Chain A
Amino acid sequence: MFLYNLTLSRASGIQCAVYGNFSGPKAQEIVVSRGKVLELLRPDETGRLQTILSTEVFGTVRSLAPFRLTGAKLDYLIVGSDSGRIVILEYNKDRNAFKKVHQETFGKSGCRRIVPGQLLAVDPKGRACLIAASEKQKLVYVLNRDAAANLTISSPLEAHKSHHLCFAVTGLDMGFDNPVFAAIELDYADADQDPSGDAASEAQKHLVLYELDLGLNHVIRKWSEPVDNGANLLIPVPGGGDGPGGVLICAENFVIYKNQDHPDVRAVLPRRSSLANDRGVLIIATATHRTKSEFFIFVQSEYGDIYRVSLKYAGESVAAVAVKYFDTIAPCASMCVLKSGMLFAGSESGNHALYQFLSIDDKDGVESSSDTITESEQGFMPVYFEPRALRNLQPVDQPDSLAPITDMKVANLANEEIPQIYAVCGQGPRSSLRVLRPGLAIAEMAVSPLPGNPTGVWTVRKSVHDDYDGYIVVSFANATLVLSIGETVEEVNDSGFLGTVPTIRTQLLEDSSLIQVHPGGMRHIRAENRIQEWRAPGHTSITRATSNSRQVIVALSGGSIVFFELQQGGSGILAEFGSKALGAEIKSLDVPPVPQGRLGASFLALGFFDSTIRILSLGPEDTLEVKATQMTNSPPESLLLLDTPAAAGPANPADDDSSAPGALFLHAGLANGVLLRSEVDRVTGSLSDTRTRFLGTRPAQLVPFIVGGQRSMLALSSRPWLGYAHMGRYTMTPLSYEALEAASSFSSDQCVEGICAVAKNSLRILTIERLGETFNQQALQLRYTPRRFVIHPDHKTLMIAEADHAAIPASEREPLAPLENGAAMSEDGQPLTPEVVRAQEDAQMGAPRGAQGQWASCLRVVDPATLSTASLTELEFNEAAVSLCLVRFNSAPQLGTVLAVGTVQSLTFYPREVKEGFIRLYQVLDNGRRLSLVHRTPVGGIPGALSPFKGRLLAGVGSALRIYDAGKKKLLRKTEYKGLPTHVATLSAMGERIFAGDLQESFHYLRYKSAENSIYSYADDAVPRHITSALPLDYDTIAGGDKFGNLFVVRLPSDVSAQVEEDPTGGKFAGSTGQLNGAPHKLEDVINFHVGDLVTAIQRCTLQPGGQEVLLYCTIMGSIGALVPFTSREDVDFFQHLEMHLRQEHPPLAGRDHLAFRGSYLPIKDVIDGDLCEQFSQVPLDKQKAMAEELDRTPGEVLKKLEDLRNKLL
């Protein structure tokens, strides 16, 4: 079995984010790391964050730092990863790619303790950087530029110190003195040797300054002084004239200013009054903003509270540090302040956000200052505040994030064309259930009814000098309606368009005159409403027409065409240039826009009812000569010629000497709903490289549409599609919207790239929310962290188990306050109830914290049709739901399908202990909308996994497996198997076979022998995998994911499988021959693959009608990927070779070897990495050619193969 791994939706969680100017001097840009993906984000004019670039780096990114050489305008990016290398990247605007400027190897690969990469610091003047490991090693690189102004990097200077842990590093602002780096270090050498524990309790963190002597080119450990033992973060304070210099140390509960030869200035962090006394306040994210005269420092606590830290200083002496409560947002992995007055918050879980600063100095904020700090016998006196709604920040945009996904299922509950993906994600009150459907999300700007059902719609500018569209022309069966776009959209009669006929085509010509084509003829509307009319000759009428700003071609009934061209010299006369009878009725035709600097397009595409497409020349020498013919299997309903330079990779004029423009593609929408895409040779007009794609059940209409300033395609079939180039790849993506009859691009000052469409009898203005997304989402907010969920197969409802540790159950919280102003409405039009208000508050500020071992948990039933909660059951007695399954008991058929829920009471970690575990049985009532408790059975351990098994319930309790049957008052234990190594994490059953996934020891295959009423294990895995998810594929095979980010499939060898089935003892007595306490048989690896992200759920599904069955997996960073089986050996060979070439020619960006990364824990086996293969389109053209040649193909064919594979999937 060979599988092809493809990430369908890249990770959406953020590991770290940095701000800088990467593409241009004034560009406000953020580079985020999503674990193994680097992305460049930029807010657009409306404040929406757009993804400019996204690249997989095939390595674990651990730290990022931007830096800029003195006097330079652009930032470079340093990447600290698991590659054992320092990598400096530069953003190349022309190619829209990161370019590796330097890559220096310093150690082994992998996230190791003493190999640098975990921490990064740069000198604010960009002269040096320090890369550190969590222990011992620190390397300093000097950055400079050579005579040609290229960045140079020195050999590393060592600043190692054995037995020292490093918590944080930063570069101090020294102006132009020698660069100095600060680090928080802890020496553990004595603690390891002293059994009394005195040394450990005396272990003291130190702030250490490392000075890089640029003159002598060495690093010295310059200064070291004890700091608070809770220190965890460093913030450099601007110096060298802009401020006092030195460093702010964030410690648990404190912010301390420290500098060499300067007394400490300490301020306490204000704490929430609801916080228990033994909880500290830890700073987890910081952001600094510098203007010419001032600097602002913001820090965020683990609870999400943002404080502004300000310093009172004179010269280099700091008199006071003040910490003022600012606002509360979700806890962030990284915060960035943009120069445009925005705050980017990359959330740890749930959606990220971009905020606008409303003010930066809150007069009423609670402040704690070093001036007012008071120390008593218990320590420093805390300062309290109450978190409140946002006052200083205003949300502008909220990019969706699925991270962390805890469980996922694919099912078609809404009876749609394709199944939906249901994912539960998030943490605590910020968690949600999301329904994902492939497609781009669409926002409706306006919907207005029309009289009758229109047949077509066009938008047209009033003059070539206008930026925006002026008229919307709507054509009906026997009339035309012209709407003028201004402050409002209203009907006009003075446009010059004929209203009494249907319209076939409208066009604005180069000289600002307008064309209206109708069945009777063509109307040329020139300045001052001078109208010229051309009438269709004889008994013919115009059936179709196409045009660009200089050329108009009309097709007449009977199968002839007439070609008009605007006369040169500005006479403004549209003259007949030629005509031709083609002998067949014309179904569709298209002419591309006039290329820049040319007088007309050179080709015309015609589609005929006899299912042929012809390309005609429009050149002056061979006017209307047929250049190429293509047969299709259905009449071409619509044609569109598109210039798509990006389709053939980054064929950028800047890189290419010939400055050849990209390829010209002919798109044909056939009557059977298939889209053909062929390349047109620019010189000869011949057609080649045809690709097909099924769009829907209706004839496909193709409409030109502008995306990102580039002419793209809107294809309308039974659902609308958008074909566009995104990040160097041509993609066809469905739009998540109903079927449209006709559409046109629409541009106004509110919406630059919109769609004007008609659906049934309404006119709609639509915009596309965010390009580049694979799925659009609908979300339902949940109360606690979702753990697992099941879908009821008959009632099609979702049952979600939610549980939060150290949280206070809703029932024990303060009663909900009634709303002050009655039943208000929230923004999305839903009535506000006290519950909704509290949920919104909690999502912003976090729920109040409980004690360790306190749990809040509930069972929720969700109706997917309305995406609303049908019922919610809070669990009492400090129980938390950890597992659930639906089961039907043979012994109690009157109960029907019941929901079994495994709960734990007072679970605490380190070590994992419970007071008691239970299995609760719930009867499902009211069409699956309500749960009613039948009984609750103590089981004496953690019921980690449940599964139905032959009309009974199979439960994993701790490390034991048990079979329960339903009793009147309790579940009845029928049999038990003790002796799984650690803890049952997953359970599934098939026939007599049981597949148990152990928390640390991979899968065990067990068998139930009914005659003896016993369970025994007959096979297990040789590899100790920490199972997180499992999916049985067939009787012998199971797919799973582990904690370290591996995905694998294991299989029972066929001979063993047969032997186990045939053996009357079922291989039981072979068990006595098992070796080293293991089972007698071992499972074989079928595939091994390191995803690089923790897989939390695997599902088997098809994602399009008639599509291929795939394994879909989701990860904790919020990505969704698929493993697609190959169907032919030939494909496997091809992709294996492509992968091999790409590994050599296009090594990963972070410096990690691709093969080593995919085999981080176990050697990669029988999986082709599609994410790497798809980077083929990002490789420069000459390399593409060379690689394709090695594969005996052209680059186009390689791209086609890649595209086909993806299209089969989605």
Chain B
Amino acid sequence: MATLQDRFNINSQLEHLQAKYVGTGHADLSRFEWAVNIHRDSLASYVGHHPMLAYFALAENESIGRIKYNLMQKMLLPCGLPPEKEEEG
């Protein structure tokens, strides 16, 4: 019984973590989901670090405000459309 209890606990703990911290992975995480997460993390980090924004702005010759907006917009679909779900057999 004890082992079952433990497993239940670990699962519930994981679920709790997944709910609390966006991006916490799980066993069935797909490549796409993982990439989307990484990209969103990166984009949020760029937006938070002003020197990075300034660097991008310099390269693209845009204003920093525009770069920031573009990066935020990109967080919607950072890796393009999700792949078709395989039918579960």
Chain A contact residues, CB within 8 Å of chain B? 13, 15, 35, 60, 62, 82, 111-114, 117-118, 133-136, 162, 165, 167, 186, 188, 191-197, 200, 203, 232, 282-285, 302-303, 331, 333, 348-349, 403-404, 406, 427-428, 785, 804-807, 909, 1043-1045, 1092-1094, 1115-1117
A980 to chain B, nearest CB (A): 20
What residue in chain B is nearest A856 (Cβ atoms)?
A: B61
| B1-55 interface (Cβ within 8 A of A) | 19, 21-23, 33, 36, 40-41, 44-45, 47-52, 54-55
Query: Which chain A positions have C-beta within 8 A of B77?
Result: 188, 191, 200
Query: Which chain B positions have C-beta within 8 A of A200?
Result: 76-77, 81
B85 to chain A, nearest CB (A): 7
B48 touches A111 (CB 8 A): yes
A516 to chain B, nearest CB (A): 59
25 inter-chain pairs at a CB distance below 8 angstroms, sorted by A residue, are: A13-B54, A111-B48, A113-B22, A113-B23, A113-B45, A114-B21, A134-B47, A135-B44, A162-B19, A165-B76, A188-B75, A192-B36, A194-B81, A195-B83, A196-B81, A282-B66, A302-B66, A348-B63, A348-B64, A349-B54, A427-B57, A428-B61, A805-B59, A1115-B51, A1117-B54
B49 touches A111 (CB 8 A): yes
CA distance A348 to B81 in the complex (A): 34
CA distance A191 to B74 in the complex (A): 12
Query: Which chain B positions have C-beta within 8 A of A133?
Result: 44
A285 touches B65 (CB 8 A): yes
Beyond A195-B81, A195-B85, A200-B81, whether A114 also contacts B22 by CB under 8 A is yes
| Residue in contact with A113 in the complex, picked from B19, B40, B76, CB distance below 8 Å | B40
What residue in chain A is nearest B69 (Cβ atoms)?
A: A232
CA distance A545 to B10 in the complex (A): 87
Query: Which chain A positions have C-beta within 8 A of B48?
Result: 60, 62, 82, 111-112, 117-118, 134
For the A-B complex with A284-B65, A428-B61 known, give 16 more contacts whose Cβ atoms are closer than 8 Å.
A35-B51, A111-B47, A111-B49, A135-B44, A200-B77, A282-B63, A282-B65, A284-B66, A348-B64, A349-B54, A349-B58, A427-B61, A806-B61, A909-B60, A1094-B52, A1115-B51
A331 touches B54 (CB 8 A): no
CA distance A501 to B21 in the complex (A): 85
Query: Which chain A positions have C-beta within 8 A of B62?
Result: 302, 806
A1094 touches B54 (CB 8 A): yes
| Residue in contact with A785 in the complex, picked from B45, B58, B75, B85, CB distance below 8 Å | B58
What residue in chain B is nearest A849 (Cβ atoms)?
A: B61
A1043 touches B81 (CB 8 A): no
B62 to chain A, nearest CB (A): 7
A60 touches B49 (CB 8 A): yes
In the complex, whether B89 has a CB less than 8 A from a CB of chain A is no
CA distance A303 to B41 in the complex (A): 29
**B-side interface residues, number (CB < 8 Å):** 38
| Residue in contact with A348 in the complex, picked from B47, B55, B65, CB distance below 8 Å | B65
Query: Which chain A positions have C-beta within 8 A of B82?
Result: 192-195
CA distance A1044 to B13 in the complex (A): 33
B49 touches A1045 (CB 8 A): yes
Query: Which chain A positions have C-beta within 8 A of B64?
Result: 284, 331, 333, 348
| Residue in contact with B51 in the complex, picked from A197, A303, A1117, CB distance below 8 Å | A1117
Query: Which chain A positions have C-beta within 8 A of B72?
Result: 134, 165, 167, 232
Beyond A192-B36, A406-B58, A807-B61, whether A134 also contacts B75 by CB under 8 A is yes
In the complex, whether B87 has a CB less than 8 A from a CB of chain A is no
| Residue in contact with B65 in the complex, picked from A114, A135, A302, A406, CB distance below 8 Å | A302
What residue in chain B is nearest A804 (Cβ atoms)?
A: B61
In the complex, whether B84 has a CB less than 8 A from a CB of chain A is yes
Query: Which chain B positions have C-beta within 8 A of A805?
Result: 59-61
A132 to chain B, nearest CB (A): 12
Query: Which chain A positions have C-beta within 8 A of B58?
Result: 349, 404, 406, 427, 785, 1116
**4 smallest beta-carbon distances between A and B, as pairs:** A284-B65, A111-B48, A113-B44, A302-B63
CA distance A427 to B57 in the complex (A): 9
B63 touches A1093 (CB 8 A): no
What residue in chain A is nearest B74 (Cβ atoms)?
A: A910
| Residue in contact with A191 in the complex, picked from B22, B61, B76, CB distance below 8 Å | B76
CA distance A302 to B57 in the complex (A): 12
| Residue in contact with B44 in the complex, picked from A134, A188, A283, CB distance below 8 Å | A134
CA distance A785 to B45 in the complex (A): 25
A135 touches B61 (CB 8 A): no
CA distance A282 to B61 in the complex (A): 15
CA distance A35 to B51 in the complex (A): 8
Query: Which chain A positions have C-beta within 8 A of B65?
Result: 282-285, 302, 331, 333, 348
B28 to chain A, nearest CB (A): 14
Query: Which chain A positions have C-beta within 8 A of B61?
Result: 427-428, 785, 804-807
A188 touches B66 (CB 8 A): no
Query: Which chain B positions have C-beta within 8 A of A804?
Result: 61
Which of B21, B57, B69 has the largest count of A CB atoms less than 10 A from its CB? B69
Query: Which chain A positions have C-beta within 8 A of B21?
Result: 114
| Residue in contact with A284 in the complex, picked from B45, B59, B63, CB distance below 8 Å | B63
What residue in chain B is nearest A1093 (Cβ atoms)?
A: B51
Which of B33, B48, B81, B84 has the largest count of A CB atoms less than 10 A from its CB? B48
A875 to chain B, nearest CB (A): 16
Query: Which chain B positions have C-beta within 8 A of A118?
Result: 44, 47-48
A114 to chain B, nearest CB (A): 5
A348 touches B45 (CB 8 A): no
CA distance A167 to B41 in the complex (A): 15
Query: Which chain B positions have C-beta within 8 A of A285?
Result: 65
Beyond A348-B57, A406-B58, A806-B61, whether A60 also contacts B76 by CB under 8 A is no
What residue in chain B is nearest A784 (Cβ atoms)?
A: B61
CA distance A556 to B6 in the complex (A): 97
CA distance A117 to B65 in the complex (A): 18
A728 to chain B, nearest CB (A): 27
| Residue in contact with A197 in the complex, picked from B57, B81, B85, CB distance below 8 Å | B81
What residue in chain B is nearest A203 (Cβ atoms)?
A: B76
A525 to chain B, nearest CB (A): 62
A35 touches B50 (CB 8 A): yes
B7 to chain A, nearest CB (A): 26
A425 to chain B, nearest CB (A): 10
CA distance A165 to B60 in the complex (A): 25
Query: Which chain B positions have C-beta within 8 A of A333?
Result: 64-65
What residue in chain A is nearest B64 (Cβ atoms)?
A: A348
A113 touches B50 (CB 8 A): no
A186 touches B76 (CB 8 A): yes
B40 touches A135 (CB 8 A): yes
Query: Which chain B positions have C-beta within 8 A of A195?
Result: 81-85
A282 touches B69 (CB 8 A): yes
Beyond A134-B44, A302-B65, whether A1116 also contacts B22 by CB under 8 A is no
Which of B41, B60, B65 has the largest count of A CB atoms less than 10 A from its CB? B65
CA distance A193 to B22 in the complex (A): 16
CA distance A282 to B66 in the complex (A): 7
Query: Which chain A positions have C-beta within 8 A of B44?
Result: 111-113, 118, 133-135
Query: Which chain A positions have C-beta within 8 A of B19?
Result: 162
Which of B41, B47, B54, B83 has the largest count of A CB atoms less than 10 A from its CB? B54
Query: Which chain A positions have C-beta within 8 A of B60?
Result: 805-806, 909
B68 to chain A, nearest CB (A): 8
A188 touches B22 (CB 8 A): no
CA distance A1116 to B85 in the complex (A): 44
Beyond A112-B41, A203-B76, whether A1116 also contacts B54 by CB under 8 A is yes
A752 to chain B, nearest CB (A): 37
Query: Which chain B positions have C-beta within 8 A of A1043?
Result: 52, 55
A301 to chain B, nearest CB (A): 9
B26 to chain A, nearest CB (A): 15
What residue in chain B is nearest A166 (Cβ atoms)?
A: B72
What residue in chain A is nearest B23 (Cβ atoms)?
A: A113
What residue in chain B is nearest A162 (Cβ atoms)?
A: B22
B65 to chain A, nearest CB (A): 3
B66 to chain A, nearest CB (A): 5
CA distance A114 to B40 in the complex (A): 10
B22 touches A135 (CB 8 A): yes
